[in-house]
Amino acid sequence: MSDHDIRSIFVTGLRNAHAMENQALSIMKPQLLRVENYPDVLDRLEAHKRETENQITRLETVLSQLNESHSALKDVALSFTGSMAAMGHTMAGDEILKNSFANFAFENFEIAAYKSLLTVADLGGFTFAVQPLTANLAEEQAMAAWIDDHVAEITTRFATRKQAGQTAKV
C-alpha cells in the first residue's frame, strides 16, 4: 500500500470521527434538557459534552496539520447513530434506561473508531496525531466505563421510583 493510500485512509477516518463526535453532541444535548431526576447522570453527560467539544477541536487540529481544511468537512450522519438517537427520544417511561444503553453503544462505537485511527496513524507514521487521538480514546473509555459501572444502580433507582409512583420523567 502506498503512502498516499494510508494518508487517504487516515483523512477519511478523521473526517468520519469528526462527524461521529458531532453526532455524539446531537445525542447528548436533548438528554441534557430532559434529565431531571438523575443528577449524577446529568453531571456526567455535561462533562462528556465538554470533552466531546474538545475532541472535535483536537480532530480539527490534526486535519489542519495534514493540510486538510476542516471547514470543508461535510459531516454525514451515521445511520447507526441516527437510529440510536431516535431511540433516546421515545416517550416511554424507561427513557433513562434506553438512553443509557444507547450512550453505552455509542461510546463503544467511538472507542473502536479511535483504536482504528491510532492503528492507521502508526501505519502511516503520523506521530503528531497519536497524543490527541489517545486523549480522545481515553475519554471515550472513561465514559463507557462510567455507564458500565452505573447502569445497574440507575436501573434500581428507576424501579424504585416507579414502585413509589413517582413521575416517569427522566
Enumerate residues 100-139 that contact Fe ion by CB under 5 A: 110
Size of the site for Fe ion (CB under 5 A): 2
Q: Quick one: which of 117, 100, 108 has its CA closest to 142?
A: 108
Enumerate residues 38-77 that contact Fe ion by CB under 5 A: none
95 or 110, CB closer to Fe ion? Answer: 110
| 85 makes contact with Fe ion (CB under 5 A) | no
Residue 59 to residues 45, 132, 137, 150, Cα–Cα distance (Å): 21, 8, 12, 29
User: Least separation, in Å, of the C-beta of 28 and Fe ion?
Assistant: 8
149's CB contacts (< 8 A; 6+ apart) are: none
User: Least separation, in Å, of the C-beta of 24 and Fe ion?
Assistant: 5
Distance CA 3, CA 7 (A): 6
C-alpha cell at 97: 434506561
104 or 124, CB closer to Fe ion? Answer: 104
Q: By Cβ distance, which residue is nearest to Fe ion?
A: 140
Q: Is 140 exposed, middle or buried (0-12, 13-18, 19+ CB in 10 A)?
A: buried
- At residue 16, φ and ψ (nearest 5 deg) are -65, -40
20 or 129, CB closer to Fe ion? Answer: 20
28 or 96, CB closer to Fe ion? Answer: 28
Enumerate residues 4-23 that contact Fe ion by CB under 5 A: none
Contact with Fe ion (CB under 5 A) among 35, 113, 140, 170: 140
Binding residues for Fe ion (CB under 5 A): 110, 140
